[in-house]
Amino acid sequence: AAFFRGLLGSQHVFAEFEDQDAPVEHAIVAGGPQLLQRLPADAAVGWVIRATVQPEGRPEERKSVEFRLCNALLPYFRDGLQGGSGSKMHTAWKELQDVRVVEGSVRHVPTHLFTGHGANRGWILAQGHQSNRCCFASSYRHNSSWDRWDGVKL
């Protein structure tokens, strides 16, 4: 089952995992339905998560990576609980496990996921967390610097 389907980037954020009102958020836009859905209650460490990006109307450029759900990511994807703590923003970046490319030619294979920190809600899938130029995909409204598709500015 899909957990996110929609356009990437700060201008297109329609819901966040941290939303408290419901585990499933739907919004209908001109291009079709968007979806943000938490993982089910029985989701467990070890599940494989797949992230796929594709420029609109260009299926030949589709790229997919997979990573294994770990203890640090499970509360975010299943319960909407942020991973950041204290005053340090970097604590929200969680290292991915067993990442592999499953489709396409990925220039910036993600190694970390931003899991929210206070008012900084949303997610960022990137290679490291020091440079937005290595962002694979994001749904983060606070600034446009993470608006990238495998490193390419949206």
pLDDT-above-90 percentage for the chain? 47
pTM value surpassing 0.85 = yes
Phi, psi angles (nearest 5°) of residue 93: -85, 120
- Mean pLDDT to the nearest integer, 57-79: 91
* Contact in structure between 71 and 59 (CB atoms under 8 Å): no
Angstrom distance (rounded) from CA 136 to CA 110: 6
- Mean pLDDT to the nearest integer, 100-126: 94
Query: Tens digits of per-residue pLDDT, 15-66?
Result: 788 876 544 444 444 455 677 778 888 999 999 999 988 887 888 989 999 9
Angle subtended at Cα 152 by Cα 84 and Cα 27, rounded to the nearest 5 degrees: 60
* Contact in structure between 74 and 66 (CB atoms under 8 Å): no
Helix, strand, coil share of the chain (percent; to 5): 15, 35, 50
pLDDT for residue 92: 92
Q: Is the pLDDT of residue 68 over 80?
A: yes
* Contact in structure between 114 and 97 (CB atoms under 8 Å): no
